[in-house]
Amino acid sequence: MNQKRILLAACFLGFLAVAFGAFGAHAWKAVLQNYGRADTFELAVRYQFYHACVLLFLGLYNKPSAALSAVFFITGIFLFSGSLYFLALTNSTPLVMVTPVGGIFLLLGWGYLVWWLLKN
């Protein structure tokens, strides 16, 4: 994954986080309240936005070593936030076991950054 792709992923995921946040607060508000999942949805948006911002910084940091962390973060966003979005909007639990796997990928992204900083 090169610098441009990391930046594009950051922008796309940041855009989606803002869009999902707006839909969650307005268009999907009744569904989320009906299922009692507004907090779950907000957590998904928050984690997606935080990690989209991290991806933006990784993309601006022009080093090949940023690519592996970016892959971990993107995978983590899709698995963690994606499974929470699914749960919140459908109140269906088949993907709930994917959420911790997504969390592990987010941790791997941070862990790799720590390892890389200590190494260099």
In terms of residue numbers, what domain contains 105?
3-119
Reported as a single tens digit per residue, the pLDDT across 32-43 is 999 999 999 999
Report the run of H or E that residue 6 belongs to, with start and end.
helix 3-25
Q: What is the mean pLDDT of the chain?
A: 95
Q: Which residue has the higher pLDDT, 81 or 117?
A: 81
- Residue 62 pLDDT: 73
Burial 29-63 (b: 16+ CB within 10 A, else e): eebbeebebbebbbbbbebbbebbebbbebbeeee
Q: How many domains does the chain have?
A: 1
Reported as a single tens digit per residue, the pLDDT across 19-66 is 999 999 999 999 999 999 999 999 999 999 999 999 999 999 877 778
